Amino acid sequence: MMSQHTLFSLFALAYAVAVKAQSSSTTSLEPLASKHFTYPDIPYQVTGDQGGIRGPQLGYNLCNSTTENQNSLCQTMFLNNLGDFCMWSSSQTDDTIGESEAREVAWCTSPGHGTRVIPPGAITGAQWLYAKNYVQVVGFIDQTKVNLAASDEGGELDPHGADEQGNPLGGLVYSNGFGQSSSSFQSLVGSGNLTSNQTYTQVIEWIDFIGGGQFCMKMCNPNDPNAAALCNHIYDEVGCSYNALANYGSINGTFEVCDSDDMTPPGVFTTNGATTTWFQPQTGAVVPPYTPTIPSSSNCQTYSSSQLFAAVATDASVVGSASASAASTSAASHSASASGAGKTSGSSSSASTSFGTDAMPFIVVGFATVLTTMMAMLA
């Protein structure tokens, strides 16, 4: 009779082959964060069919006036200033971030980017920070206006994910906010044109959380060598309060722009004079061992929503149309192919664990055969 040791060795070998087959379907793909494009010279699709087991890419990156409507599948977004920024959210109504992370589309506060436009009144308060090495916007939103279920607690979107293909797949981010300040924004408001600057820098490292009626986005300056740490994407379970520091208790109902010091990178804290890095556990309760310190801000100015969102408030194609028109999007989207995204809301950094190679059915059968034989012989 075959020894128990040999049987377990066969079991381990079959398992290793299956894992190898799964990983080979994604590791050969170019990471999303390594794809750099000078605006506006970007391809129609950054990822296309090369999205690994979670592909293909839902939408497109080449967006203009012909793609701007409430059914747009544009996956290029901008974070420019408090009156002109976008966020990722679903293309389908009553959705969750956990279900839709791979297929998010851009929703923007201003027309002109070829995207869907966030309906007037959806954002009820927001704060924009011009930090030394990043720009950040946080706030409160009626998330049903951007197709998320009211009950969804949300999760994180970033240009990485476990398979390095990003969430959403093929999502590009640009900004003209680096090097600007609260004072320069005040001048921009005075000009009456918040979208006049059309010179954009691609943001390589960024984080985007939305859910529970709240959102936060931080775009790190690609010229800063510490960008990956400031926009670290591995702390998805602790949300905005650890990843995008702000005084959230005073933001809802106001619209404010400030200059700010850089925050300490997520996970890094000092205790008894020693600097320590905490890493979010893969399993079990997630309880950070520290309370983050909100960085100092200055030159804060408040604005009215009418100063910031006047363009969308008068856009007849947006007002009252979002909820009615978005329902038709599911027929045009590849939602089924993107459904391999994480199934648990609030953990969008995880990738699908389903197998996706042509040989996988045979591998699974072989694996099952070995397992069955082993159990029979041990009986």
Residue 115, amino acid: T
Q: Which two tokens stand for residue 44?
A: 């129609």
At 51, the pLDDT band (50, 70, 90 cuts) reads confident
Q: To 10 degrees, what angle do helices 360-378 and 4-27 make?
A: 160
Beta strands in the chain (DSSP E): 76-81, 84-89, 105-108, 116-117, 123-131, 134-141, 155-157, 172-175, 201-202, 205-211, 214-220, 255-260, 268-271, 274-277, 297-302
Say what the pLDDT of residue 28 is: 79
At 162, the pLDDT band (50, 70, 90 cuts) reads confident
> Higher-confidence residue: 363 or 296?
296
- List, for residues 93-121, the tens digit of each pLDDT value: 999 999 999 999 999 999 999 999 999 99
Residue 21 has pLDDT above 60, yes or no: no
Cα–Cα dist 254/258, whole Å:
13
At 343, the pLDDT band (50, 70, 90 cuts) reads very low
Cα–Cα dist 147/71, whole Å:
11
Say what the pLDDT of residue 312 is: 79
Say what the pLDDT of residue 320 is: 54
Residue 30 has pLDDT above 90, yes or no: yes
- List, for residues 259-270, the tens digit of each pLDDT value: 999 999 999 999
- List, for residues 347-362, the tens digit of each pLDDT value: 433 322 232 333 333 3
Report residue 299: phi and psi, to 5°: 55, 40
Residue 367 has pLDDT above 50, yes or no: no
Cα–Cα dist 62/24, whole Å:
30
Say what the pLDDT of residue 314 is: 65
Residue 252, amino acid: N
Residue 182 has pLDDT above 90, yes or no: yes
Nearest to 155 by CA among 93, 208, 106, 232: 208
At 377, the pLDDT band (50, 70, 90 cuts) reads very low
Which has the minimum average pLDDT: 36-40, 319-323, 368-372?
368-372
| pTM passes above 0.85 | no
Beta-carbon contacts of 4 under 8 Å, excluding residues fewer than 6 positions away, are 378
Say what the pLDDT of residue 264 is: 97
At 19, the pLDDT band (50, 70, 90 cuts) reads very low
Cα–Cα dist 164/162, whole Å:
6
Say what the pLDDT of residue 316 is: 61
The dihedral of CA 360, 363, 368, 369: what is its sign?
positive
- List, for residues 266-287, the tens digit of each pLDDT value: 999 999 999 999 999 999 999 9
Cα–Cα dist 163/23, whole Å:
9
Residue 23 has pLDDT above 50, yes or no: no
Residue 307 has pLDDT above 50, yes or no: yes
Residue 342 has pLDDT above 50, yes or no: no
At 123, the pLDDT band (50, 70, 90 cuts) reads very high
- List, for residues 128-158, the tens digit of each pLDDT value: 999 999 999 999 999 999 999 999 999 999 9
Contact 206, 159 (CB under 8 A): yes
At 7, the pLDDT band (50, 70, 90 cuts) reads very low
∠156-161-167 over CA atoms, to 5°? 60
> Higher-confidence residue: 141 or 29?
141
Cα–Cα dist 52/165, whole Å:
8
